[in-house]
Amino acid sequence: MRAHQGHEKTSLEPSQANRQPDRGRNPTSLDALEPATILYLQEAAGNQSVTRLIQRATDTAIAPAAPGQDAEVVAQQALPQLATDPVLDLVEELVAAAASLAGTGSASKALAVIDVHVNSPGSRSTETGKELDPLARLGDVLSADDMVKRLTALNAKQRLTLKQHVHNRLAHMQGQDTEVLAQEALPAFATDPVVDLSEEIVEAARPLAGMPQANAMWAAITDQVLSASPTRRSAPANADTDPMAALQAVLYGSTVVAGIYELTPDNNAKPKKREELRARKHSVLSHVFHQLEAVASERAATATEPSLGTITHEFDLIQASSVKGYLKTLQEYAGARDGLLQAFGALEVGSRVALNRAAAYYNTPPMTTVTAFAGKTLQWPAIVHSSMAAAIRQAEGKLYATLAVKMQQDPVAAATWFAGLQDSFHNLGDGVEIRANANNAFAMSVHSWGWAIDVDAELNPNFAKGSPQGIVKVVTGQDIDKGSSGKGRGNFTTGKQYEDVKVEAERLREISQDYTAAFESEDTLKQLMLRYVNGALATNWPTSFADDLLRTAQTADQAGDDQGRNVAELLKELKEVAATGAVSKGPSTLLQPPPSLQDIMESAELARLGQTLVWLARVYRQSIAKPPPVGPPNRVAADFEGTPSTIAVHGFMNLDPDLVAALVSSGLRWLGSVGEGTKDFMHFELVNPPALY
Ligand SMILES: [Zn+2]
């Protein structure tokens, strides 16, 4: 970051203490030049920084401080404008100390360690015996007496600025550009709306941290910060006496609302800008959460149960609890930490109690291991909350009841049906998986709480990528965004009875089967093309036209002609052939009349059709595995992120309709029947989840 170049001389200054002459108590800068240290520094900050450090050591040696004037003063004289801001020095020192962790799997840990120390200086004793561990070294730097003093001297705003800049610098070093992009437009160290906004909110919310209203406080903050049109309200009358009213006065007051507007995209904003602003809003929430959580943890601390202080200590507590099996590494914990702590009420009771609540939640029971379903042993067990296990048992009971009824009618058919049902699934997924939404640290997946199962994920995929709904409609003529009634709002199976759910599940499975049948081979593909064109043009072209359609569409696809102009041209010719038996070459262009409105509409229609045929050719081509096989088409593998081509081979709904009916009518919501938007055919979740604590 160019703007920082003037400050880099301070980048490896270990601390003021290091420049004092007593080597016995305090390492001098020359200690920092021992071979092992140089290696570490080279790794941490690069050769240039080491050269500068050597330079500095030499400077200090040849320019001894006058009596009563220590080296710090000498440095200040050399760089007068820098010494005025203690935050700048700290930014450089912390970045240098954490530099070797940037871009590694430990980067988020390093940031969390820095945040904790900046929030509560000296909150942790130095871990010993880990000199070779860069994270432990970072902890050492942060725990040094002098560093603690300097951090303690900062006010809240300086702390926030410090963290903000260390985060940005390290993100920059590891090439994570989202946060950096957002920052680069701003002159370094200038007023940052993220910092200002976070600070305003934290100051107003601080009295509520560690109090019973903390969760309501957090909900209000989240709603307002993430709002697309932040609300402005006049201050409540009791703002002087009620801390919640005081927070509302600030949260809905002109300063904060203006700050949030700065981070809110307008309607014309490009996707990249939206993404950037969204990331910055989440950055505000993270800053606010970290600070308030630290306050709550300090308030909840007792002599026997002090504040955990660091993410490492939190992780130690997790490793000694039932949560251990779900968060195996510190990195996994770092990714889920904020959402987990928030969900278990850390803003109200502090992190230690929140983690104890989590430990109670993940005990066995209520966590339950499901190893079999409907008489079939699962490929691997699923661990779910007892409420989910109860729903699964209830569904199983319904399937056995259905079997009993069928047995009385026709035992052989009943046995065949039940065997088919058992064949239609193999696993219920892993069950509990503690993870945050990739885009929102505070939105935890419901899998985190054991409230969801994923049945045979690959064969019943998620439609997040590629949005195959459109092509499914082209190929099958059916709209899977709508239920059989044609209505498309909300989830069209939730809360319905067994038979009603089964109707919807059967319909979706048939659409899935029709879709794969259309892409079974080149032969079925060309039949699909002809069928589609005949439907769209209300014609009855013969099968002999299909070869031309397929070949022309395939050629256009291979040539990358997404517009399919040649295909549209072919369609025009075929129309003439069908009408007259031959292609009329027509008079020369000079003599042609201007195109009528009907001509224009017809060419637009043919262009659209041409494009669609190229699309179909592409979906089929991409459904063939690479490299091209010698024998019969070797198809692509199934994927839990369904694309038009993977579902062309494997379908998207392979669950037995009775299985879906039994699960949904037992209190589960199926994301395969979401009215509009993202579909997830594998996923069933509790409609009425239990409390976490
Ligand atoms: Zn799921």
Does residue 656 contact residue 424 with C-beta atoms inside 8 Å? yes
**Does residue 260 fall inside a structural domain?**
yes
Mean pLDDT of 675-691: 93
**Does residue 527 fall inside a structural domain?**
yes
**Does residue 388 fall inside a structural domain?**
no
**pLDDT at position 163, please?**
82
Per residue in 428-451, pLDDT (tens digit) is 999 999 999 877 889 999 999 999
CA of 482 to the centre of ligand 1 (A): 21
How many domains does the chain contain in total? 4
**pLDDT at position 537, please?**
93
* 417 vs 120 pLDDT, higher one: 417
Mean pLDDT of 350-367: 96
Average pLDDT, the chain: 83
Whether 558 and 419 map to the same domain: the answer is no
Whether 537 and 426 map to the same domain: the answer is no
CA of 472 to the centre of ligand 1 (A): 22
CA of 464 to the centre of ligand 1 (A): 12
* 578 vs 19 pLDDT, higher one: 578
Beta bridge partners of 670: 684
Residue 207 has pLDDT above 70, yes or no: yes
137 closest CA partner among 102, 119, 169, 110: 110
**Does residue 171 fall inside a structural domain?**
yes
Band (pLDDT 50/70/90 cuts) for residue 453 is very high
CA of 281 to the centre of ligand 1 (A): 26
Band (pLDDT 50/70/90 cuts) for residue 27 is very low
* 661 vs 633 pLDDT, higher one: 661
Neighbours of 223 (CB within 10 A): 12
CA of 669 to the centre of ligand 1 (A): 11
Torsion angle of the four alpha carbons 337, 310, 179, 100, in this order, in degrees rounded to the nearest 10: -120
Residue 188 has pLDDT above 50, yes or no: no
> CA 669, CA 684: separation in Å to the nearest integer?
5
Amino acid at site 54: I
528 closest CA partner among 542, 512, 517, 544: 517
Residue 631's SS3 state is coil
Q: At a CB cut-off of 8 Å and minimum separation 6, what does 250 contact?
A: 200, 201, 203, 204, 256
Per residue in 95-126, pLDDT (tens digit) is 888 887 877 767 777 887 788 788 778 765 44
**pLDDT at position 99, please?**
80
Q: b vs e for 533-558, b when ≥16 Cβ sit within 10 Å of the residue's Cβ? A: beeebeeebeeebbebbbebbbebbe
> CA 189, CA 363: separation in Å to the nearest integer?
47
For the record, the structure tokens of 544 come out as 């002999």
Final residue before a domain boundary, out of 338, 361, 384: 361
**pLDDT at position 584, please?**
63
> CA 474, CA 486: separation in Å to the nearest integer?
17
Band (pLDDT 50/70/90 cuts) for residue 384 is very high
Whether 149 and 113 map to the same domain: the answer is yes
Mean pLDDT check: name the lowest of 307-311, 336-340, 357-361, 381-385.
307-311
CA of 453 to the centre of ligand 1 (A): 6
CA of 280 to the centre of ligand 1 (A): 28
Whether 114 and 202 map to the same domain: the answer is no
Whether 336 and 298 map to the same domain: the answer is yes
Which domain does 313 fall in, by range? 196-361
CA of 681 to the centre of ligand 1 (A): 9
Angle at 531 between CA 526 and CA 533, to 5 degrees: 95
Residue 259 has pLDDT above 90, yes or no: yes
CA of 452 to the centre of ligand 1 (A): 6
CA of 468 to the centre of ligand 1 (A): 18
Residue 536 has pLDDT above 90, yes or no: yes
Mean pLDDT of 495-500: 96
Whether 537 and 471 map to the same domain: the answer is no
How many CA atoms lie within 13 Å of 163's alpha carbon, on the beta-carbon side? 31
* 509 vs 79 pLDDT, higher one: 509
Whether 475 and 561 map to the same domain: the answer is no
CA of 275 to the centre of ligand 1 (A): 24
Residue 268's SS3 state is coil
CA of 447 to the centre of ligand 1 (A): 7
CA of 486 to the centre of ligand 1 (A): 26
Final residue before a domain boundary, out of 139, 172, 190: 190
CA of 442 to the centre of ligand 1 (A): 18
* 199 vs 668 pLDDT, higher one: 668
CA of 98 to the centre of ligand 1 (A): 36
Does residue 421 contact residue 658 with C-beta atoms inside 8 Å? yes
**pLDDT at position 632, please?**
73
**Does residue 473 fall inside a structural domain?**
yes
Mean pLDDT of 75-81: 36
CA of 679 to the centre of ligand 1 (A): 10
CA of 385 to the centre of ligand 1 (A): 14
CA of 458 to the centre of ligand 1 (A): 12
Residue 48 has pLDDT above 90, yes or no: no
Q: State yes or no: cis peptide before 193, omega within 30 of 0.
A: no
CA of 429 to the centre of ligand 1 (A): 8
Give me the helix-helix angle, 177-184 and 156-173, nearest 10°: 120
**pLDDT at position 442, please?**
92
CA of 428 to the centre of ligand 1 (A): 10
**pLDDT at position 217, please?**
97
**pLDDT at position 486, please?**
87
CA of 455 to the centre of ligand 1 (A): 8
Final residue before a domain boundary, out of 296, 330, 361: 361
Mean pLDDT of 170-181: 51
**pLDDT at position 173, please?**
65
**Does residue 12 fall inside a structural domain?**
no
Mean pLDDT of 260-280: 91
**Does residue 387 fall inside a structural domain?**
no
Band (pLDDT 50/70/90 cuts) for residue 162 is confident
Name the percent of the chain lying above pLDDT 70.
Answer: 81
Per residue in 557-575, pLDDT (tens digit) is 999 988 899 999 999 999 8
**pLDDT at position 439, please?**
76
Whether 108 and 140 map to the same domain: the answer is yes
Whether 160 and 243 map to the same domain: the answer is no
Amino acid at site 418: F
> CA 11, CA 169: separation in Å to the nearest integer?
12
For the record, the structure tokens of 384 come out as 């779910």
Whether 39 and 164 map to the same domain: the answer is yes
**Does residue 614 fall inside a structural domain?**
yes
* 236 vs 21 pLDDT, higher one: 236
Band (pLDDT 50/70/90 cuts) for residue 182 is very low
Whether 324 and 206 map to the same domain: the answer is yes
Whether 457 and 326 map to the same domain: the answer is no
* 105 vs 218 pLDDT, higher one: 218
CA of 433 to the centre of ligand 1 (A): 10
**pLDDT at position 524, please?**
97
Name the percent of the chain lying above pLDDT 90.
Answer: 60
Amino acid at site 126: T
Identify the sign of the CA torsion 574, 577, 578, 579: positive
> CA 447, CA 436: separation in Å to the nearest integer?
10
Residue 343 has pLDDT above 70, yes or no: yes
pTM for the whole structure: 0.72
